[in-house]
């Protein structure tokens, strides 16, 4: 299985937030958020920045290095 390029699921767990909450607050569809969390799809840069803003983290915290 390919390595995920992001840490969205991990940061959500650290913040105690759900995918549903993130979808609602970021105005990104729940299906997209769910796909990111489950590693089925990767977010666009635009969505990655929206997620970082919603979670109040630097976008670098969402990227696996």
Q: Is 11 inside any structural domain?
A: yes
Number of H helices and number of E strands within the chain?
Answer: 4, 0
Q: Is 4 inside any structural domain?
A: yes
- This prediction has a pTM of 0.90
Query: What's residue 64's pLDDT?
Result: 84
Six-digit token string for 62 = 């969402």
pLDDT tens for each residue of 1-50:
567 789 999 999 999 999 999 999 999 999 999 999 998 999 999 999 99
**Better-predicted residue by pLDDT, 4 or 57:** 57
Structural domain of residue 38, as residue ranges? Answer: 1-44
Q: Is 24 inside any structural domain?
A: yes
Query: What's residue 2's pLDDT?
Result: 62
C-alpha neighbours within 13 Å on the C-beta side of residue 48:
15
Q: Is 61 inside any structural domain?
A: no
Contact (Cβ atoms closer than 8 angstroms) between residue 6 and residue 36: yes
């Amino acid at each position: 299985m390919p390595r995920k390029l992001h840490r969205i699921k991990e940061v959500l767990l650290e913040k105690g937030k759900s995918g549903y909450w993130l979808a609602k607050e970021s105005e990104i569809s729940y299906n997209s958020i769910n796909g990111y969390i489950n590693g089925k799809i990767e977010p666009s840069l635009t969505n990655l920045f929206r997620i970082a803003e919603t979670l109040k983290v630097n976008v670098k915290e969402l990227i696996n290095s």
